[in-house]
Amino acid sequence: MTSADLTGVDGPGQTPPIRIRFRLDRGGFVLDLDLALAGRGVTALFGPSGAGKTTCLRAIAGLERVPGGFLEVNREVWQDDSRGIFRPTHRRALGYVFQEASLFPHLSVRKNLEYGRRRRAVAPPVDFDHLIDLVAVGPLLERRPETLSGGERQRVAIARALLAGPRLLLLDEPLASLDRARKDEILPFLERLHRELEIPVVYVSHAVDEVVRLADHLVLLAEGRVAASGPLTETLARLDLPEEFADEAGLVIEGTVGASDPTYGLVRLDFPGGSVQVVHSAEATGRRLRFQVKARDVSVALEKPRDTSILNLVPARVVAVAEAKGGAHVLVRLDAGGTPLVARITRLSRDRLKLAPGSEVWAQIKAVAVLA
């Protein structure tokens, strides 16, 4: 790819705050990255192991010296190998959270947290006490890192990175070394962080559930190359997603809580183009929630079905149809009053229903997963 892939940038002609270009060919391992990131929001670098995600992150941090690199953050050129510019890691205003929390074992939690703070002149984006509350490490301050659990350590690591006043936060699979229970413990913190932070975050992961919960923008990496990138919703809705991600094809939609029905344990989520009812505990009206609708959970009917157990029926128009990998299925891109949806049906059904761009149909959404 030679042209920058714009993710989440408002309008053409505006220089994106973060531009990243790395080209590396190291004995079989290739990295070919050309990205532009917005000034805020979480960009997920997603891909299978060995795709080069960690190398990419380390290159951004300056921990790996990748020749032919270019890195500009908020109009500061941190690296430009064509001009011989290379700002060493310690002078890049970034925060880095490693896969295994690298808390300094010889310092207390408090001293760990203060380490970065003492060294960067830039004021941190979040106040110390507020941050301590946010990641709930207050009671841990005087303890030693080896006495903390994996989840606690990662929380402290995140707080430590933030307290150093970064302009860019890099997270390298921060939840990968945690078990299910710890992960579920931390994800809400990350979501809170996501909502409160005003700096861009690059989040590397090979776990889909983390990505769909946290990402605003998605960059799919396969074998060192960018396979797809764009806003989360759109990227996942693409019909030509590479094989590794095919299973995730579908949508992440943000909706507002319209009404709660405690009797039946349902919550209605409104989004432009329709609404869905999902099984969920009561929520305050007006609350914004994300939910995921996978293509394989969406089917299509020409007429509004009656007397069906499927609760969620949304009118839509067919935008595009494409062959899915495997040959027996097709992916149908739908437009439901402005909100995209993707359905996966058999080729036979498509032929029988004579679906083509422009056809007016009803989308039946069998399962909805509320993310947060």
Partner 1 sequence: MGEVLQITFFTLGVALLGTLLILPPGIALGWWLARRDWPGKAVVETFVALPLVIPPVATGLILLKLFGRRGPFGYFLERTLGVEIVFTWKAVVLATAVMSFPLLVRTARVAFEEINPRFEEAACTLGAAPWDVFWTITLPLGTRGLLAGCVLAFARALGEFGATVMIAGMIPGQTITLALGIYQEVQLGRDTEALKLLAISVVLAFAAVWLSERLLRGRTK
Summarize as ranges the residues that interact with partner 1 (CB under 8 A). Answer: 61, 63, 88-96, 98, 100, 102, 104-106, 115-116, 119-120, 160-161, 164
The CA-atom distances, in angstroms, between 10 and each of 7, 13, 40 are: 9, 9, 11
CA-CA-CA-CA torsion for 25, 31, 36, 38, nearest 10 degrees?
A: -140
Cβ–Cβ under 8 Å, residues 31 and 59: yes
The residue among 109 and 298 lying less far from partner 1, judged by its C-beta, is 109
Write down the least CB distance from residue 63 to partner 1, Å.
5
In angstroms, the first-to-last Cα distance of the chain is 34
Write down the least CB distance from residue 149 to partner 1, Å.
19
Q: Which two three-digit tokens encode residue 330?
A: 């097709």
Mapping DSSP to helix (H, G, I), strand (E, B) and coil, where does residue 5 land?
strand
Give Cβ neighbours of residue 118 (< 8 Å, ≥ 6 apart): none
The CA-atom distances, in angstroms, between 166 and each of 18, 86, 204 are: 13, 18, 17
The residue among 160 and 333 lying less far from partner 1, judged by its C-beta, is 160
The residue among 31 and 163 lying less far from partner 1, judged by its C-beta, is 163
For the chain, helix, strand, coil in percent to 5 are 25, 35, 40
Residue 2 phi, psi (nearest 5): -110, -30
Write down the least CB distance from residue 218 to partner 1, Å.
24
The residue among 154 and 364 lying less far from partner 1, judged by its C-beta, is 154
Write down the least CB distance from residue 95 to partner 1, Å.
7
Write down the least CB distance from residue 190 to partner 1, Å.
19
Which helix (H) or strand (E) segment holds residue 65: the answer is: none
Write down the least CB distance from residue 158 to partner 1, Å.
12
The CA-atom distances, in angstroms, between 20 and each of 34, 202, 211 are: 6, 12, 20
The residue among 99 and 275 lying less far from partner 1, judged by its C-beta, is 99
Query: How distant is the alpha carbon of residue 4 from its chain centre?
Result: 19
CA–CA gap between residue 273 and residue 315 (Å, rounded): 8
CA–CA gap between residue 260 and residue 272 (Å, rounded): 18
Write down the least CB distance from residue 7 to partner 1, Å.
23
Query: How distant is the alpha carbon of residue 59 from its chain centre?
Result: 20
Q: What single-letter DSSP state applies at residue 324?
A: P
The residue among 63 and 367 lying less far from partner 1, judged by its C-beta, is 63
CA angle 147, 165, 81 (to 5 degrees): 110
The residue among 100 and 244 lying less far from partner 1, judged by its C-beta, is 100
CA–CA gap between residue 71 and residue 227 (Å, rounded): 20
Write down the least CB distance from residue 124 to partner 1, Å.
12
Write down the least CB distance from residue 93 to partner 1, Å.
8
The residue among 8 and 124 lying less far from partner 1, judged by its C-beta, is 124
The residue among 102 and 275 lying less far from partner 1, judged by its C-beta, is 102
